[in-house]
Amino acid sequence: MCGKGELLLEKTKGAATVNQADFFDPDILAFTDDVRQMCEQNTCGRYGRAWNCPPVCGTVKELEAACRHYSKGIFVNTVSRIKDSFDWEGMQAGGRGLCNLLEDIRRFAQEAGMADYRIFGGGGCYGCKDCSYPDTPCHHPDKLFTPIEACGINVLQAAKDAGFKYTNGQNTVTFFGMVLYND
């Protein structure tokens, strides 16, 4: 009989949008304020505009403590084709693909009976067309995930350390997510 993590990985690999999925040791994750500063520079346009993004999601120190609570991890990525490196709509569609995968992973984790886990994604939340932040509470708090970058994690380095390809060819965009959990 396989454990809950193995079951989750098996189901994740079978999800329609997944490119790669595998276990990794969360101890490889490095947390730095340098990465978080990209959020503060509002590179993606969501800083201070979404419930799951900085500064609302917590400090790097708080998020590192939350991540260090977990002893196991599953890293996943999706790869989407885009017209060219300026295809913002294609990139956004790729981000929504990752969000759909993360929703599947949440459902798989619940079906597997996992109780102590947290899902992290790439970039902002795509749950609503327009985020209710800061006027009203989040409409779907059960679907929120914290962006990996908001934690201060260099996704390129984490992908490399976990044995994943970060670049997957010309005219593609790759998004990463992770599940941290305890048995």
pLDDT for res 2: 58
- Given 3-state DSSP classes, what are the helix, strand and coil percentages for the chain, each rounded to the nearest 5? 35, 20, 45
Who contacts 43 (Cβ-Cβ below 8 Å, separation ≥6)? none
Asked whether residue 30 carries a pLDDT value surpassing 80, the answer given is yes
For residue 123, is pLDDT > 80? no
Q: Which residues contact 140 (CB under 8 A, 6 or more apart)?
A: 127, 128
Predicted structure pTM score: 0.89
- Matching residue, tokens 């993360």: 102
Task: Report whether pLDDT(161) > 80.
Answer: yes
Query: What is the average per-residue pLDDT within 128-142?
Result: 87
Contact 77, 176 (CB under 8 A): yes
Rg of the chain taking only CA atoms, in angstroms:
16
**How would you class 172 by CB atoms within 10 Å of its CB: exposed for 0-12, middle for 13-18, buried for 19 or more?**
middle
Q: What confidence tens digit (pLDDT) does each residue in 89-102 have?
A: 898 888 888 888 99
Q: pLDDT tens digits, residue range 6-24? A: 888 888 887 878 999 999 9
The predicted pLDDT at position 97 comes to: 87
The token pair at 108 is 């798989």
In 3D space, the residue among 45, 51, 66 whose CA is nearest the CA of residue 125 turns out to be 51
User: Is pLDDT of 1 > 50?
Assistant: no
Are 116 and 182 in contact by the 8 Å Cβ rule? The answer is yes
